[in-house]
Structure 1
């Protein structure tokens, strides 16, 4: 990373299409500098590293927010002694009270400062807060279009309520404690990756309270192509929304709904493979 000649600076939660436009300016010797606020929940912590080929350095906001413009640039040059180019977005601010912007970088940095304009899709500007809003209403396809990839959460397996395999369908129950934003409660067409496998399994997943059974909150995924063995961790990649969470009058009614969910997911995922 010390050999990097170009860096892109920002929060980069989501690593969405807009962020990718910044990364496209880096060239071969580039690095990404993440200003970590602690509020990232689309790609929390080091999840960003799944969506870029460039090495990433993390700077904690609380540790740099007191710096003035000169101090900030000196910090960057100490981290990147060969720095020739800084890439930021049009809305980038830094320093105490966010009082500095790209104009200050241009004035004080002796190399090139590239400012990337706002990026839009179908006339709608792309921002992380809009992606969060789309996930909150179950607009998975809209969120994925802004992201440029399927929204993905990761977690470790935990015990379920115990009736799935016996009375309903077998599921992988996940505990997602790494700060991921969960989408609206409901049922989704998904792809699930198990442990360190290279491929994703076609699946249907549920996020929400089990209102028909024990009322507890769950994130669970049913693999469509058969049962899986021991699982320690998994990733759920959301493709589309099927239906809202709903309380059914009986287990039989819930079974019918799950059967329908599976049919919908199977059909959509087969079409995606064509």
Structure 2
């Protein structure tokens, strides 16, 4: 079914930025019912789940509205826009901190006045007493707290990128890796991670260990590279790396031999942690 047909038949929408599609956002989506649509206000700042990446974390269709194209609207014009896009609209779901319209002057209270249907306001969602927000997830990713970020997300932090050439010594002197350029995604703290890697359009993820950072022991260039643990695979165009946990910081080694020894240890750690997850 096309997005246009879905919108025509949708009776409920959830509105927000939804960068991360985290467990707080999922509480909004849970209010949509059978004929729901997610409306993303695209600010251009989303880097946890940029652009259509959000579609991997919900079964609901998504309509994208560019903030620059709607930010000038007053409250009545905003509601008119929604009604024109969703002629059967009966319910709007927003978070407690939702604002809209010119200079963000309107809140959910105004939405209740302006919209004749139901307005469902989802209260703040917390985990172990800590409120869940996209900016907190970004902060956790930046410091390498992948477990904390994943707990807030409700899924593994994942980046996707096009295949790029490596430095050329991995397969010969170290280990074979898949190298990507993940444009638009927030880059985790430099270091080595337990990961799962999906190759091209495969449906399953391979156990892997991944490096993010500058190759300080060799040529100093920046890289995002993943070594597949269950056998060598061929990547043709792209890969998706799903971060499970942090292993260690990026470090400069005195020799290629020392680096190779560290990589072997990283592989052992990743293998053991992934095996425990499968139990």
Once the two structures are superposed, residues 24-61 of structure 1 have per-residue CA deviations (whole angstroms, 9 ceiling, x without a partner) of: 00000000000000000000011000000000000000
Matches within 5 A, 1:248-267: 248-267=253-272
Once the two structures are superposed, residues 199-247 of structure 1 have per-residue CA deviations (whole angstroms, 9 ceiling, x without a partner) of: 1000000000000000000000000011112431110000000000000
Task: Work out which of the residue numbers 78, 100, 105 in structure 2 matches 1:99.
Answer: 105
Spell out structure 1 runs of 4+ moving beyond 2 A.
Answer: none
Alignment match, 2:114: 108
Gaps of 5+ in 1: none
Task: Work out which of the residue numbers 209, 217, 220 in structure 1 matches 2:222.
Answer: 217
In structure 2, distance between residues paired with 1:102 and 1:231:
47
In structure 1, distance between residues paired with 2:235 and 2:96:
48
Alignment match, 2:168: 162
In structure 2, distance between residues paired with 1:132 and 1:106:
32
1:127 aligns to 2:133 (yes or no): yes
Contact 2:200 2:235 in 1 (8 A): no
Q: Secondary structure, in 3 states, of the residue corresponding to 1:2?
A: helix
Task: Work out which of the residue numbers 223, 233, 236 in structure 2 matches 1:231.
Answer: 236
Alignment match, 1:240: 245
Contact 2:211 2:226 in 1 (8 A): yes
Alignment match, 2:57: 51
Matches within 5 A, 1:189-208: 189-208=194-213
Query: Per-residue deviation at 1:176?
Result: 1.2
Alignment match, 1:270: 275
Q: Secondary structure, in 3 states, of the residue corresponding to 2:103?
A: helix
Q: Secondary structure, in 3 states, of the residue corresponding to 1:71?
A: helix
In structure 2, distance between residues paired with 1:271 and 1:207:
23
Aligned residues: 273
Query: Per-residue deviation at 1:103?
Result: 0.5
Moved more, 230-239 or 63-72: 230-239
Alignment match, 1:89: 95
In structure 2, distance between residues paired with 1:141 and 1:217:
24
In structure 2, distance between residues paired with 1:62 and 1:156:
28
1:7 aligns to 2:20 (yes or no): no
Give the alignment's TM-score, normalised by structure 1: 0.99
Give the alignment's TM-score, normalised by structure 2: 0.97
In structure 1, distance between residues paired with 2:154 and 2:63:
22
Alignment match, 1:187: 192
**Alpha-carbon RMSD:** 0.5
Alignment match, 2:3: none
In structure 1, distance between residues paired with 2:226 and 2:96:
40
Gaps of 5+ in 2: 1-6
